[in-house]
Structure 1
Amino acid sequence: MIDIKKFDEIKKTSAKSFNEQKALIKKVMAGRVIQCNTCGTTIKLVLPEQSESPGLYCSKGCTDITLDFEL
């Protein structure tokens, strides 16, 4: 049987992570310079014209958020 308290904790953690990623995406797409929390390098926005896998990436690969773009 599933433990409701553990499920609620997972749900809260997932929602927090989602909201943090959403805020990060907004900041980078607005032109702000944001550093990777893990390695400290600048997170770059890669557009569909630049690569087949657009998204947000740091140079070391710690931050790796693939985005879907509609053209």
Structure 2
Amino acid sequence: MDLQQIKQLNKQTAKSYNDQKALIKRVLMGKPAKCPNCQQSLQFLAPQDGSVAKITCAKGCTDIELDLS
């Protein structure tokens, strides 16, 4: 891997991180958001009985676990 490929990978990683962060903010603010894969609505699931909080779509192709500590 040369330096140019590493820079490109870092750029893609940063974009992915920022896109996911914006998606999480949007859902937690109660604004409608769609799954990037299946276009179904995303929903926030609060933690219950030891489970973790998560943002998910009905199909499960988006499943983001949140650390609320």
Instruction: Give TM-score scaled by structure 1 length.
Output: 0.87
Q: Secondary structure at the match of 2:47?
A: coil
Q: Is the 8 A contact 1:48 1:69 kept in 2?
A: no
User: Deviations 1:31-64 (Å, cap 9, x if unpaired)?
Assistant: 0111112112110111123771321100111111
Consecutive unaligned residues in structure 1, runs of 5 or more: none
Give the stretch that moved more between structures: 8-17 or 38-47: 38-47
CA RMSD of aligned residues (A): 1.5
Unaligned ranges ≥5, structure 2:
none
In terms of mean alpha carbon deviation, does 12-21 or 57-66 score higher? 57-66
Partner of 1:49 in structure 2?
48
Where in structure 1 do 4 or more consecutive aligned residues deviate above 2 Å? none
Tell me how many residue pairs correspond in the alignment: 69
In structure 1, what is the equivalent of residue 34 of structure 2? 35
Distance 1:4 1:57 in 2: 36
Percent pairwise identity? 38
Bigger shift: residues 57-66 or 41-50? 41-50
Confirm or deny: 8 A CA contact 1:56 1:63 kept in the other structure. Answer: yes
Give the Cα separation in 2 of the matches to 1:3 and 1:66: 34
